[in-house]
Amino acid sequence: MRITLLGTGCPVAHPSRAGAATLVEAGGAKVLFDCGSMVTQRLIEAGCPGMGLDALIVSHLHSDHLVDFYQLVVSSWHQGRAAPWTVHCPETVVPVIEATMDAWRQERDLRIAFEQRPSATGFEVSCEVLAPGAVLSVGDLSIEPVLVEHAPVVPAYGFVLRAGGKTAVISGDTSVSEALIEAGQGANLLIHEVYMHHNMAAKPGARSDATIRNTAAYHTLSTEVGGVADRMGAKALALTHFVPPDFDRAALIAEVAQSFRDPIFVGEDLMCFDLGAGEVSWRDFRARLL
C-alpha cells in the first residue's frame, strides 16, 4: 500500500498546500479520498492522472474536501477516461454531486457534441452512500468507513485501510474520535488532521474569539493528536490538514512528541508513504517509516 498526500491544506488558501486529498494505491487499485482544490494538478504530479482512478471517496460535506470535483471529472475526460465514476460519500454529499453535474450539463453536452472524443462514459457519475462499518473493497484494498466527530457536519467519516498485511488510518476531519481509535488499533500509519490552537488569534473582519473556539471544537488539537496516535497503538503518525497552514514545524513535532514517541511526520503535498517498503519520501527527503 502506497499513500500520497496530495493536499495538506485547509480552507485557507496557501501556495504550497493544496486542498484536502489523499491518493491510496494497493494491488493495482487507485482510490482518491476527497477532492479539494488543485487535486487534478497534484494527481498528475504524483504520476496518477484522474483517468486512472478506480473510485472517489468523499469524507464529509465541506467545500475544502469537495470543491474540485467537477474539475476532476472534466480533466480526467480530457485525459481519455472511458470509465464511469463511482463516488462513495455520505448521504449529505449526494445532492451536491448531483446538483454539480446538473449545473454543468449544458457545458458538458456542448463538449461531447463538438469535441467528438471517443467516449462520453467518463462523464457518467453515480453515488453510493457510505455506512459505518460497511467495508468497501476496491481491488486488493479494503476500506472501512468509521463515523467520526465533526458536528455540526454530520455524518463525517474517517477510514481504516487494509492491504498487503498493512493497515493505515485516515482521520478525515474530526475532534478526538474514540470510534476511530478503536477501529484503527495497531495501525502501521495514522494520517491525522491537526488544529494548532496556540497559533490562532482573533483577527478583525476575519475571525472572532467565537470563531476560534467553535472551529477548535470540531478538530483535533495539536496537544491532543499525539495521544490519539498513542492510544491507537499506531506505529507512525503523519500530520495533515494544518490549521493554520503556516506554523513552526519543530515546535509542532516537539509538542506532539510529548505524547507519541514513535515517528512523527509533518505532511507535505506529494509526500509518499510506502507501507510495503517501510519508507517515506518527499522531494530529496527519504526516511524509514517503521
Break the chain into its structural domains and give their ranges: 2-288
Identify the pLDDT of residue 80: 96
| CA atoms 72, 73, 75, 80: torsion sign | positive
Q: Which pLDDT belongs to residue 250?
A: 96
Cβ atoms within 10 Å of 222's Cβ, excluding its own: 22
Task: Supply the pTM of this predicted model.
Answer: 0.96
Pick the CATH number of 2-288 from 3.40.50.720, 3.30.2350.10, 3.20.20.150, 3.60.15.10: 3.60.15.10
How buried is 103 (Cβ within 10 angstroms: 0-12 exposed, 13-18 middle, 19+ buried)? exposed
What is the average per-residue pLDDT within 114-123? 94
Q: Is 290 a residue whose pLDDT tops 80?
A: no
Could you read off the pLDDT of 261-289 as tens digits, one per residue? 999 999 999 999 999 999 999 999 999 98
